Amino acid sequence: MTALEANFCRVRLDGIGPAAAGELLCVRRTRLGKTGQRIYVGDRVRVEGIDWPARRGAIAAVAERRTQLERPAVANCSRVVVVVALEQPRLDPPQLNRFLLTAERTGVAVELVLTKADLVAPQDLQAWCARLQGWGYEPLPVSTLRGDGIESLRRRLQQPGISVLCGPSGVGKSSLINALVPTLDLRVSAVSGRLQRGRHTTRHVELFSLAPGALLADTPGFNRPDLPRDPIELGPLFPEIRRRQAQASCRFRNCLHQGDPGCAVGDAWDRHPLYLSCLEAVLAEAEREGPRDSSEPSSRRGDRSEPRLDQRLRQLSRRRQRQGQADD
What's the farthest any 2 CA atoms get from each other in the chain?
89
Q: Note whether 60 and 37 are within 8 A (CB).
A: no
Q: Calculate the CA 326 to chain-centre distance.
A: 55
pLDDT band at 324; cut points 50, 70, 90: low
pLDDT band at 22; cut points 50, 70, 90: confident
Which residues have C-beta within 8 Å of that of residue 214, sequence separation ≥ 6?
Answer: 157, 158, 159, 160, 161, 163
pLDDT at 325 (0 to 100): 59
Determine the CATH number of domain 3-64.
2.40.50.140
pLDDT at 17 (0 to 100): 80
* DSSP assignment letter at 129: H
Q: How far apart are alpha carbons 35 and 43 in whole angstroms?
A: 17
Domain residues of the chain, as ranges? 3-64, 78-218, 231-289
Position 310 pLDDT exceeds 60 = no
| Domain 231-289, architecture per CATH | Orthogonal Bundle (1.10)
pLDDT at 270 (0 to 100): 96
> Most confidently modeled of 102-106, 196-200, 298-302?
102-106
Peptide bond into 89 cis (omega under 30): yes
The string of DSSP codes covering 243-290 is HHHHHS--SSTT---SS-TT-SS-S-STTHHHHHHHHHHHHHHHHHH-
pLDDT at 214 (0 to 100): 92
pLDDT at 195 (0 to 100): 40
> Most confidently modeled of 150-154, 168-172, 317-321?
150-154
pLDDT at 328 (0 to 100): 54
- What are the pLDDT digits (tens) for 221-248? 555 678 899 999 999 999 999 999 999 9
pLDDT at 193 (0 to 100): 47
pLDDT band at 291; cut points 50, 70, 90: low
pLDDT band at 72; cut points 50, 70, 90: confident
E-assigned strand segments in the chain: 3-5, 8-12, 23-28, 45-51, 56-62, 68-70, 73-75, 77-85, 109-115, 140-141, 161-166, 206-211, 214-218, 298-301, 304-307
Q: How far apart are alpha carbons 77 and 207 in whole angstroms?
A: 11
Closest by alpha carbon to 205, among 221, 191, 189, 192? 221
Position 33 pLDDT exceeds 50 = yes
pLDDT at 154 (0 to 100): 93
How much is the pTM? Answer: 0.77
Distances in Å between the alpha carbon of 254 and those of 75, 99, 185, 231, 288?
32, 25, 50, 9, 21
pLDDT band at 203; cut points 50, 70, 90: low
Q: Note whether 238 and 102 are within 8 A (CB).
A: no
- What are the pLDDT digits (tens) for 107-157? 999 999 999 999 999 999 999 999 999 999 999 999 999 999 999 999 999
Position 62 pLDDT exceeds 50 = yes
Position 315 pLDDT exceeds 80 = no
CATH class of the structural domain 78-218? alpha beta
Read off the amino acid at residue 114.
Answer: L
Position 309 pLDDT exceeds 60 = no
Of 150 and 8, the one with more pLDDT: 150
Position 311 pLDDT exceeds 50 = no
